[in-house]
Amino acid sequence: MSSSVVPRLLPILLATLAVMGISGCFPFERIWWSPGGDRAVVLLEGRMHLVGADGTRGAVLPEEFINEGTVVPHVAWLPDGSGFVCQRARLIPTWAEMRALVPADEAEAVDKMLPAVLPLLEAAVKLALNTNTLQGVANSLPLTKKKDFGLAVLRLRETDKTKVDSLISALPEGAKILAAMEEEGAGILLHELCLIKLQPKELKTAEAPVSLVRSMLRPLVLPKISPRQRALAFLRLDEDEESLDLEVLALNENAGPAPSAGFTVAEHVSAAFDWMPDGHALVFMSPIRHKEESVHSIHRTIVVNDAGALVKPQGPERAATLATAATLRRPAMQVLKDGRVLFSSHLLTLPAAATNADPEARLFTISADGKTVQPVPTAPGDLPTDLAWFVASPDGKQVAVVESETDAVAVVAVDTGKTQIISAPHPRWRSNTMPAWKSARELTFAALHENAPAWVLWSEGAGTRRLSSSWPAAATEVWLEKDEKKAPQPDVIAKPKKEP
């Protein structure tokens, strides 16, 4: 995807990041190891690369798989490591081609909006709407289907460009709107989740991507494959770009999705969800109230029956509320290999007096049967006050934590709470990159090397070594960020305590 497409994608990117509780100031995923740890997909300089276990770089995915186009980069490996699912966004040149690709209901929604395009643009001219984007025009009009309107404008412009452009040019900022539309190039943006198969044990793809699900109205993000069943869960941004819906579809690794095999599991959820180890149930977090960002419930819902078929959640026997979490920033949760659910929550006691200090955050586990909640027994001061950025090891015995305000990385034993700092904080530096487990005992993350960001591997008992030694410095320069104007901060993650 060319850089000229980025202006059209930027509003979608920002809306999705905001709904997911993520911004450019906090760590996000850049590294996804295969189940066997023999290769990884790594986001480098805006492109997805296949990388070997020793850091050797292989094939680069096509440009439409870059992070600007996929909204929020994420990779879900097949359980056998033979391929993965990730997002793609590409421009489809004409409406006729788009209509053949998207679900019928989406195409029909744009068709219904088509007769209203010219009257609405005429109303925008009379109101002298002072906006320099087509999305701004839609937002300023009394519309419930704003994306339908924008797509209908693009469609009508294919057949009646003179009339559409004359109305847009009559707006106060119409010239800028038209200039942006021309700059972005011809076509309509299509969002997809794609399956990419790989050559066995090699760093290159085996065949063309298989499109699993498509949408021109609602971006598709965070695909996650069931560990044991043929099913794929993912999030879909709603049409108002204000919340996320959790969906699931049947997955045929050889032929794509089964016909009419998907459904919505839950609406207005957070970005925190995961599969149970048997692959039959999904665990997800959702705000207590729509748009409420600080208090979330954790739910478990069966979506695959014993025969391996998808089943819509219904009745108390298929859905259960496991716990409630207080999240001042990003809701964070992961299912461990033994079926326990790991999540972070701030400790709140109500009523409470006003204070400038954030309440303490802790890690907790919910038992596999969903009946008990236990804190991970970390010592006071061992972990940061913000626990929104963690990832558990494949065996579920350890969890890596990165602090959003520093570049420190800690590893915590889930059962004992023992905490070790494997990468100490550096003044004025903070991490923009989530750690990623290569195996149950090996962790990769961003760290300073000779005062520059690098990709390193940590192993228990062996310390750290650099994986990016053969890469140009530019490949990892944005993995960490230094604020020269910021005063040095005290260590937010405590230094290891000396043994008595």
pLDDT in tens, 153-166: 989 998 999 999 99
User: Per the domain annotation, does 265 fall within a domain?
Assistant: no
Q: Please write down the long-range contacts of 94-97, taking CB distance under 8 Å and 24 or more positions apart.
A: 94/158, 94/187, 95/154, 95/155, 95/158, 95/188
User: Per the domain annotation, does 143 fall within a domain?
Assistant: yes
From residue 148, alpha-carbon distances to 114, 382, 384 in Å are 9, 50, 44
What integer is the mean pLDDT of 44-58?
92
Amino acid in position 286: S
Amino acid 182: pLDDT: 78
Amino acid 6: pLDDT: 41
Among residues 186, 215, 233, which one ends one of the domains? 186
Range scoring the smallest mean pLDDT among 3-17, 226-240, 480-494:
3-17
Domain count along the chain: 2
Amino acid 144: pLDDT: 84
What integer is the mean pLDDT of 306-321?
80
Residue pLDDT, tens place only, 168-226: 999 999 999 888 887 655 678 888 999 999 999 899 998 889 999 999 988 899 999 99
User: Per the domain annotation, does 435 fall within a domain?
Assistant: yes
Nearest residue to 322 via CA among 274, 381, 370: 370
pTM comes to 0.88
In this prediction, residue 323 has a pLDDT band, given cuts at 50, 70 and 90, of very high
Domain range holding 466?
381-500
Nearest residue to 31 via CA among 1, 64, 73, 66: 73
Among residues 186, 216, 249, which one ends one of the domains? 186
In this prediction, residue 494 has a pLDDT band, given cuts at 50, 70 and 90, of very low
User: Per the domain annotation, does 353 fall within a domain?
Assistant: no
CB 388, CB 344: distance < 8 Å: yes
- Across 439-456, b (16+ Cβ under 10 Å) vs e yields eebbbbbbbbeeeebbbb
- The residue assigned the tokens 């748009």 is 291
Range scoring the smallest mean pLDDT among 64-68, 336-340, 415-419:
64-68
Among residues 135, 156, 186, which one ends one of the domains? 186
- The residue assigned the tokens 């997002």 is 87
In this prediction, residue 90 has a pLDDT band, given cuts at 50, 70 and 90, of confident
User: Per the domain annotation, does 385 fall within a domain?
Assistant: yes
